Amino acid sequence: MGNLWDNDWLQRDGWSCLPVQHGMRCRGLKISVYGSGYVGLVTAACFAEMGNLVLCMDVDQQRIANLRQGIVTICEKDLDEMVAQALRLGTLQFTCDVQAAVAHGEFQFIAVGTPAREDGAADLSAVEQVARHIAEHMAEDRIIVIKSTVPVGTLDRVRAIVTGLLEQRRHDAVALFVANPEFLKEGHAVADCLKPDRIVIGTDSPQAARAMQLLYQPFNRKNDRLLVMEPRSAELTKYAANAMLATKISFMNELAAIAQRVGADVEHVRLGIGADPRIGFHFIYPGCGFGGSCLPKDLSALIHTARSTDYHPDLLEAVAAVNASQKQLLFRKLLHHFDGNLQGARIALWGLAFKPGTNDMREAPSRTLMEALWAHGAVVQAFDPLAMEETRRLYPDQERLVLAPNAAAALQGADALVIVTEWNLFRAPDFALMRQCLRRRLLIDGRNLYDPELVARHGLVYDAIGRSSRTPSAAS
């Protein structure tokens, strides 16, 4: 085995040479990224930011046409500016030509979607299709990297597809394979990509490991955050991380249910346990359930993987069950306050995205709530700083949906207000305006944003998560 920093070591191992001199890259690397969605576009833009030559490929012609003009429809901090700059500098280009993408990149990143199937398993059809395209068109050695979130064993499946097709073609090009899961938080994805807390590399190839070390050199300068492991461990690490976060959320939501029944305040409990450094404060905020494109899907896929090995994942199934119930909690609270009859009620919603900083409404608690309200004859008056267009796209023909231009407008003529997403914009509201507008003076807080006593002093009925309900004080 040659030395990574020796400029001809890869050639001696029958591998085409990467541009290295004296342990440093002597030019930007050529990278192809398949998929221009959330993960693919962020990955492509961040690699281009570091001076690499990136070609991002997608089959969606309209999306590619928009991206070529610098039109980014994903709401992610700094992403549109980064894409625009990379287009100006020529470090990032977009194409629908898969053959061009295969020819371009020394590194071939697969970052396509893996949505959940009806049985909970991840749909790998797009991943496998990209693998076939690469194998059908590659004429030179390539490093194939799976960035998509995939079940354990997927890299082996991709390896079998690619090597099998190369053998059929009787082509002597060499492919190396790497699992490189992403750990991006929506709303902070660019920062997470540029300054990662860990870079997980799953491969059984020393050459591929060293090539990935070279690729991530600009992201890994101050501290060595590169973790090299076998591919199946890398694949499981991604699911394990999201399952742990989901577990913390469901644990706090179950604790909130107990707190409300025994007369405790879960926010005080949260502070008490979070002060323990073994626990910490991350992801121990009770609320109305987790959503988004990652936690629900990845939890479901991990449960499916466990069952496929004849193991019953009791804890993971409980986490999913608690979350499903929690996403119904806001509706149950409304139904209680309206004595079981919501026909004709007008309910104001503040927040539609599944979390602040994004317009993503996949698996969002707001959708569960709105659909239940509509089924019971209620009208929804909603506002969200970023997710209004996405809401229109999802519910284009819903006559009981009113999208308000701002938070105050959503209150006009409403019977009650429900806080669904904890946007900073909602943290210091005009409680006097709420009292004036809300016909029932009812505020249901799905994110525990407010001080119950303060709300009660403003003459509002306050019902939050894991806290005793407050009625208006006599002084109000």
Instruction: Pull the structure tokens for residue 345.
Output: 């009620």
The SS3 call for residue 61 is helix
The SS3 call for residue 9 is helix
Burial (CB count <10 Å: 0-12, 13-18, 19+), residue 268: exposed
Query: CA–CA distance from 57 to each of 93, 111, 142, 330 (Å)?
Result: 9, 10, 16, 41
Q: Are 197 and 225 in contact, with CB atoms under 8 Å apart? A: yes
The SS3 call for residue 54 is strand
**How far is residue 344's CA from residue 473's CA, in Å, rounded to a whole number?**
29
Q: Are 412 and 437 in contact, with CB atoms under 8 Å apart? A: yes
Q: What is the 3-state secondary structure (H, E, C) of 268-289?
A: HHHHHHHCCCCCCCCCCCCCCC
**How far is residue 328's CA from residue 368's CA, in Å, rounded to a whole number?**
7
Which letter does DSSP use for residue 425 in this model?
A: G
Longest dimension (CA), the chain: 85
For 272, residues 6+ apart whose C-beta sits below 8 A from its C-beta are: none
**How far is residue 134's CA from residue 138's CA, in Å, rounded to a whole number?**
6
How does strand 346-350 pair with strand 20-21? unpaired
Q: Which of 75, 193, 288, 294 is catalytic?
A: 294
- Nearest alpha carbon to residue 215 among 30, 434, 401, 17: 30
In terms of residues, how long is the chain?
A: 476
Cβ neighbours of 473 (radius 10 Å): 12
Burial (CB count <10 Å: 0-12, 13-18, 19+), residue 414: buried
Q: Quick check: is 56 catalytic?
A: no
**How far is residue 121's CA from residue 224's CA, in Å, rounded to a whole number?**
34
Cβ neighbours of 164 (radius 10 Å): 12
**How far is residue 213's CA from residue 238's CA, in Å, rounded to a whole number?**
19
The SS3 call for residue 119 is coil
**How far is residue 420's CA from residue 330's CA, in Å, rounded to a whole number?**
9
The SS3 call for residue 455 is helix
Q: Active-site positions?
A: 294
